[in-house]
Amino acid sequence: MSWLVPSLPTWGRSTPASSSTSPIDPEDIDTPPPFPLLNSHQRSSAPAPSSTPSFSVAPPSPPKAQHDEEEPSDLNIAIVDAPLGNMLPPVSTIKKPNFAIQKGGLDTYSTGTNGIAKKTETGPVKKKKGKVALTPGHSALDWARLTSSGEDLRGVHGFQRVTLAELKEHNTPDDAWSVFNGMVYNITPYLPFHPGGEDELMRVAGRDGTKLFMLTHSWVNLDFMLKECMVGVLVRG
């Protein structure tokens, strides 16, 4: 098959003969770095070069047009007749993720007198409130068991139409209602089960907690977790 490359062209890049200290011309910012780098493992492990080092890579696949006349093949493999020891592994183009941990704090910006935002200071990292230790018998599994037990967790009979004024009255741990996505829930039974703690959950007692909930953990399936605690719907009035 003629499109297979019969032999591999070898091209070399030699470091300038005059480069006794650095091969990079400081005057030319486009001068690429020497390859392999002067202190690379490749250089140190290779036998002492008798002449200018040369590097070979597989040439690009031939243009598509040529393939049309040739024998079709499922495999897009070019057999290269080149000494294996001279082949370099392909250079990865995948960008490495940056897992750097932010140290110091959050940058803050202010608007200068010219109206342009400028970085002014590095403040302390805001400590994220985390999970709390739940008392025994209040795990997520225990909550799942309780909600499927048939026990009344609503505290009301029937589906209620709740006004804002009425909602505000239910703001104590023993009688806490909150609104999420327009629906009113009795959150009292869930308080000791909440992984973020009772205090955090009580912040939304007697009011609409949708925003705080979404800002904290939008991935939590509230509809499912609290379906047995649903009191009704929030109405104007």
Q: How many residues bind ligand HEM (CB under 6 A)?
A: 21
216 binds ligand HEM (CB under 6 A): yes
Stretch that binds ligand HEM, among 37-45, 95-103, 118-126, 221-229 (CB under 6 A): 221-229
Per-residue burial over 122-160, b = 16 or more CB atoms within 10 Å of its CB, e = otherwise: eeeeeeeeeeeebeeebeeeebeebbeeeeebbeeeeeb
232 binds ligand HEM (CB under 6 A): no
Of 170 and 194, which CB lies nearer to ligand HEM in the complex structure? Answer: 194
Nearest approach, Cβ of 153 to ligand HEM (angstroms)? 12
Of 34 and 193, which CB lies nearer to ligand HEM in the complex structure? Answer: 193
Q: Which residue is nearest to ligand HEM (CB)?
A: 196
Tell me which residues in 180-199 interact with ligand HEM (CB under 6 A): 187, 190, 194-196
Cis peptide before 36 (omega within 30 of 0): yes
201 binds ligand HEM (CB under 6 A): yes
What is the 8-class DSSP label of residue 21? S
What Å distances lie between residue 31 and 10, 34, 37, 42, CA to CA?
Answer: 22, 9, 14, 21
The Cα–Cα gap between 191 and 71 comes to 72
The binder of ligand HEM chosen from 200, 207, 208, 214 (CB under 6 A): 200
Contact indicator for 12, 53 with CB cutoff of 8 Å: yes
Q: Is 160 helix (H, G, I), strand (E, B) or coil?
A: strand
Contact indicator for 121, 197 with CB cutoff of 8 Å: no
The residues binding ligand HEM (CB under 6 A) are 129-131, 187, 190, 194-196, 200-201, 203-204, 209, 212-213, 216-217, 220, 222, 225-226
